[in-house]
Amino acid sequence: MTDPTTPDLIALATPYALHATTDSERAEIERQLADAPPEVAEAFLAEVRAVHETMAFISAATAVEPPPTMRDRLLATVAQDPVRQLPTKRMNRWGTTVLAAAAVLAVGLAALGVGYAMRPAPTASTAEQIFAAPDVRTVSGDIPGGGKATLVFSHEKDAGVLVMNNVPPPKAGTVYQMWLVGDKGPHSAGTMDAKAVAPSTTAVLPDLGDSQTLAFTVEPGGGSAMPTSPAFAELPLA
Protein backbone atom coordinates (compact mmCIF):
# COMPACT_ATOMS: atom_id res chain seq x y z
CA MET A 1 0.00 0.00 0.00
CA THR A 2 1.46 3.33 -1.04
CA ASP A 3 0.96 6.71 0.52
CA PRO A 4 -2.18 8.62 -0.57
CA THR A 5 0.07 11.30 -2.07
CA THR A 6 1.72 8.80 -4.41
CA PRO A 7 -0.33 9.81 -7.51
CA ASP A 8 0.61 13.43 -6.88
CA LEU A 9 4.30 12.55 -6.72
CA ILE A 10 4.18 10.53 -9.95
CA ALA A 11 2.31 13.39 -11.64
CA LEU A 12 5.25 15.68 -10.82
CA ALA A 13 7.73 13.52 -12.76
CA THR A 14 7.11 15.37 -16.03
CA PRO A 15 7.65 18.94 -14.71
CA TYR A 16 10.64 17.66 -12.71
CA ALA A 17 12.17 16.14 -15.85
CA LEU A 18 11.59 19.35 -17.82
CA HIS A 19 13.05 21.55 -15.04
CA ALA A 20 9.72 23.37 -14.93
CA THR A 21 9.85 23.87 -11.16
CA THR A 22 11.47 26.37 -8.83
CA ASP A 23 14.48 25.34 -6.73
CA SER A 24 12.32 25.01 -3.63
CA GLU A 25 9.72 22.93 -5.46
CA ARG A 26 12.45 20.68 -6.86
CA ALA A 27 13.90 20.19 -3.39
CA GLU A 28 10.46 19.27 -2.04
CA ILE A 29 9.93 16.73 -4.83
CA GLU A 30 13.32 15.16 -4.08
CA ARG A 31 12.45 15.01 -0.36
CA GLN A 32 9.20 13.19 -1.15
CA LEU A 33 11.06 10.90 -3.54
CA ALA A 34 13.58 9.97 -0.85
CA ASP A 35 10.73 9.05 1.53
CA ALA A 36 8.66 7.21 -1.08
CA PRO A 37 8.39 3.39 -1.25
CA PRO A 38 10.90 1.78 -3.66
CA GLU A 39 8.25 0.94 -6.26
CA VAL A 40 7.01 4.54 -6.28
CA ALA A 41 10.54 5.94 -6.63
CA GLU A 42 11.21 3.50 -9.48
CA ALA A 43 8.01 4.54 -11.30
CA PHE A 44 8.89 8.23 -10.82
CA LEU A 45 12.42 7.81 -12.20
CA ALA A 46 11.16 5.69 -15.11
CA GLU A 47 8.81 8.48 -16.15
CA VAL A 48 11.60 11.05 -15.83
CA ARG A 49 13.79 8.93 -18.13
CA ALA A 50 10.96 8.58 -20.65
CA VAL A 51 10.45 12.36 -20.78
CA HIS A 52 14.19 12.95 -21.23
CA GLU A 53 14.39 10.39 -24.04
CA THR A 54 11.33 11.77 -25.82
CA MET A 55 12.51 15.37 -25.66
CA ALA A 56 16.01 14.41 -26.78
CA PHE A 57 14.52 12.54 -29.73
CA ILE A 58 12.23 15.41 -30.70
CA SER A 59 14.98 18.00 -30.32
CA ALA A 60 17.40 16.02 -32.48
CA ALA A 61 14.80 15.45 -35.17
CA THR A 62 13.76 19.10 -35.39
CA ALA A 63 17.14 20.79 -34.94
CA VAL A 64 17.98 23.48 -37.49
CA GLU A 65 20.97 25.74 -37.93
CA PRO A 66 20.25 29.21 -36.43
CA PRO A 67 20.50 32.18 -38.80
CA PRO A 68 23.84 34.08 -38.76
CA THR A 69 22.14 37.16 -37.27
CA MET A 70 20.77 35.28 -34.24
CA ARG A 71 23.77 35.94 -31.98
CA ASP A 72 23.87 39.69 -32.66
CA ARG A 73 20.12 40.09 -32.13
CA LEU A 74 20.23 38.11 -28.90
CA LEU A 75 23.12 40.15 -27.49
CA ALA A 76 21.38 43.38 -28.45
CA THR A 77 18.19 42.31 -26.72
CA VAL A 78 20.04 41.33 -23.53
CA ALA A 79 21.85 44.67 -23.47
CA GLN A 80 18.57 46.60 -23.70
CA ASP A 81 16.56 44.55 -21.20
CA PRO A 82 17.83 44.17 -17.60
CA VAL A 83 17.64 40.80 -15.93
CA ARG A 84 14.39 40.41 -14.05
CA GLN A 85 13.53 38.18 -11.16
CA LEU A 86 10.86 35.76 -12.29
CA PRO A 87 7.96 35.35 -9.88
CA THR A 88 7.61 32.08 -8.03
CA LYS A 89 4.61 30.10 -9.23
CA ARG A 90 2.59 27.42 -7.55
CA MET A 91 3.39 23.83 -8.47
CA ASN A 92 0.09 23.24 -10.22
CA ARG A 93 0.77 26.13 -12.65
CA TRP A 94 3.96 24.66 -14.17
CA GLY A 95 2.50 23.02 -17.23
CA THR A 96 1.17 25.38 -19.86
CA THR A 97 4.26 27.28 -21.02
CA VAL A 98 6.86 24.50 -20.94
CA LEU A 99 4.67 21.76 -22.32
CA ALA A 100 3.20 23.98 -24.99
CA ALA A 101 6.78 24.55 -26.14
CA ALA A 102 7.25 20.78 -26.18
CA ALA A 103 4.12 20.52 -28.28
CA VAL A 104 5.58 22.92 -30.83
CA LEU A 105 8.63 20.67 -31.09
CA ALA A 106 6.39 17.66 -31.57
CA VAL A 107 4.55 19.42 -34.35
CA GLY A 108 7.87 20.31 -35.95
CA LEU A 109 8.74 16.64 -35.91
CA ALA A 110 5.47 15.77 -37.60
CA ALA A 111 6.28 18.30 -40.31
CA LEU A 112 9.23 16.18 -41.43
CA GLY A 113 6.78 14.42 -43.71
CA VAL A 114 6.92 10.93 -42.24
CA GLY A 115 4.28 8.72 -43.82
CA TYR A 116 1.80 7.22 -41.37
CA ALA A 117 -1.12 4.86 -41.95
CA MET A 118 -2.51 5.32 -38.44
CA ARG A 119 -3.73 8.89 -38.18
CA PRO A 120 -2.64 12.28 -39.54
CA ALA A 121 0.33 13.85 -37.78
CA PRO A 122 -0.65 15.97 -34.75
CA THR A 123 -1.93 19.45 -35.43
CA ALA A 124 -0.68 22.34 -33.34
CA SER A 125 -3.94 22.63 -31.39
CA THR A 126 -4.09 18.92 -30.61
CA ALA A 127 -0.47 18.69 -29.49
CA GLU A 128 -0.69 21.85 -27.40
CA GLN A 129 -3.82 20.61 -25.66
CA ILE A 130 -2.23 17.26 -24.83
CA PHE A 131 1.07 18.66 -23.55
CA ALA A 132 -0.61 21.42 -21.54
CA ALA A 133 -3.30 19.20 -19.99
CA PRO A 134 -3.22 18.95 -16.18
CA ASP A 135 -3.30 15.14 -16.35
CA VAL A 136 -0.60 14.74 -19.05
CA ARG A 137 1.37 11.51 -18.66
CA THR A 138 4.30 9.91 -20.45
CA VAL A 139 4.79 6.16 -20.83
CA SER A 140 7.57 4.42 -22.71
CA GLY A 141 8.51 0.86 -23.56
CA ASP A 142 11.07 -1.10 -25.54
CA ILE A 143 10.01 -2.82 -28.76
CA PRO A 144 11.30 -6.38 -29.24
CA GLY A 145 13.84 -6.40 -32.02
CA GLY A 146 14.93 -2.83 -31.27
CA GLY A 147 13.63 0.67 -30.80
CA LYS A 148 11.26 2.32 -28.35
CA ALA A 149 7.69 3.59 -28.32
CA THR A 150 6.68 6.56 -26.17
CA LEU A 151 3.19 7.94 -25.70
CA VAL A 152 2.46 11.36 -24.24
CA PHE A 153 -1.26 11.35 -23.47
CA SER A 154 -4.13 12.97 -21.63
CA HIS A 155 -7.41 11.26 -20.75
CA GLU A 156 -8.93 14.68 -20.17
CA LYS A 157 -8.15 15.65 -23.77
CA ASP A 158 -8.92 12.10 -24.95
CA ALA A 159 -5.81 11.91 -27.12
CA GLY A 160 -2.10 11.14 -27.17
CA VAL A 161 1.02 11.70 -29.25
CA LEU A 162 2.87 8.49 -30.13
CA VAL A 163 6.61 8.67 -30.84
CA MET A 164 8.47 5.64 -32.23
CA ASN A 165 12.24 5.75 -32.48
CA ASN A 166 14.44 3.24 -34.33
CA VAL A 167 11.69 0.62 -34.53
CA PRO A 168 12.39 -1.93 -37.31
CA PRO A 169 9.67 -2.04 -40.00
CA PRO A 170 7.28 -4.99 -40.22
CA LYS A 171 8.04 -7.82 -42.63
CA ALA A 172 6.71 -7.69 -46.17
CA GLY A 173 2.99 -8.47 -46.34
CA THR A 174 2.38 -7.54 -42.69
CA VAL A 175 1.65 -4.40 -40.70
CA TYR A 176 1.99 -3.24 -37.15
CA GLN A 177 -1.47 -2.61 -35.74
CA MET A 178 -2.20 -0.52 -32.64
CA TRP A 179 -5.06 -1.43 -30.31
CA LEU A 180 -6.65 0.63 -27.57
CA VAL A 181 -7.73 -1.93 -25.00
CA GLY A 182 -10.46 -1.23 -22.43
CA ASP A 183 -13.10 -3.12 -20.47
CA LYS A 184 -14.97 -3.92 -23.70
CA GLY A 185 -11.88 -5.34 -25.38
CA PRO A 186 -9.55 -3.97 -28.08
CA HIS A 187 -10.41 -1.60 -30.90
CA SER A 188 -8.06 -0.62 -33.67
CA ALA A 189 -6.05 2.60 -33.42
CA GLY A 190 -4.56 2.19 -36.90
CA THR A 191 -1.85 0.34 -38.80
CA MET A 192 1.70 0.97 -40.01
CA ASP A 193 3.23 -0.80 -42.99
CA ALA A 194 6.95 -0.97 -43.78
CA LYS A 195 6.88 2.36 -45.66
CA ALA A 196 5.25 4.12 -42.71
CA VAL A 197 7.86 3.06 -40.15
CA ALA A 198 10.78 5.47 -40.36
CA PRO A 199 13.71 5.82 -37.96
CA SER A 200 11.77 8.69 -36.39
CA THR A 201 7.98 8.40 -36.53
CA THR A 202 5.21 10.30 -34.75
CA ALA A 203 1.41 10.38 -34.89
CA VAL A 204 -1.61 11.46 -32.88
CA LEU A 205 -3.95 8.91 -31.31
CA PRO A 206 -7.44 10.34 -30.73
CA ASP A 207 -10.38 8.78 -28.89
CA LEU A 208 -8.56 7.12 -25.98
CA GLY A 209 -11.88 6.72 -24.17
CA ASP A 210 -11.62 4.40 -21.18
CA SER A 211 -8.68 2.49 -22.68
CA GLN A 212 -6.26 1.07 -20.17
CA THR A 213 -3.57 -0.16 -22.57
CA LEU A 214 -2.10 0.62 -25.97
CA ALA A 215 -1.08 -2.71 -27.50
CA PHE A 216 0.90 -3.53 -30.66
CA THR A 217 0.43 -6.66 -32.79
CA VAL A 218 1.64 -7.94 -36.16
CA GLU A 219 -1.27 -8.39 -38.57
CA PRO A 220 -1.73 -9.35 -42.25
CA GLY A 221 -1.36 -6.48 -44.73
CA GLY A 222 -4.28 -4.08 -44.44
CA GLY A 223 -4.88 -4.86 -40.78
CA SER A 224 -7.46 -6.92 -38.92
CA ALA A 225 -10.84 -6.27 -37.31
CA MET A 226 -9.56 -7.96 -34.15
CA PRO A 227 -6.04 -9.05 -33.10
CA THR A 228 -4.92 -12.31 -34.71
CA SER A 229 -1.63 -12.57 -32.80
CA PRO A 230 -0.44 -11.86 -29.25
CA ALA A 231 0.66 -8.32 -28.46
CA PHE A 232 4.42 -7.90 -28.81
CA ALA A 233 4.45 -4.65 -26.82
CA GLU A 234 2.08 -2.77 -24.51
CA LEU A 235 1.98 0.69 -22.95
CA PRO A 236 -0.23 1.22 -19.86
CA LEU A 237 -2.71 4.11 -20.00
CA ALA A 238 -4.25 3.74 -16.54
Q: pLDDT of the chain along its 238 residues, tens only? A: 334 445 578 778 877 877 767 888 888 888 888 888 888 888 888 878 777 766 655 554 444 455 566 556 656 655 555 444 333 344 444 444 444 444 444 444 343 333 334 544 555 467 778 878 888 888 888 898 888 898 989 999 999 988 888 899 999 999 999 999 999 999 999 998 888 887 777 778 899 999 999 999 999 998 999 999 999 999 999 8
Q: State which amino acid sits at residue 94.
A: W
Task: Give the largest Cα separation in the chain, rounded.
Answer: 64
Question: What is the torsional sign of CA 59, 54, 168, 211?
Answer: negative
DSSP helix/strand/coil, 102: helix
The alpha carbon of residue 166 and the mean position of all alpha carbons in its chain are separated, in whole angstroms, by: 16
Look at residue 220 in the predicted model and tell me its pLDDT.
Answer: 95
Q: State which amino acid sits at residue 176.
A: Y
Look at residue 110 in the predicted model and tell me its pLDDT.
Answer: 40
Contact 197, 149 (CB under 8 A): no
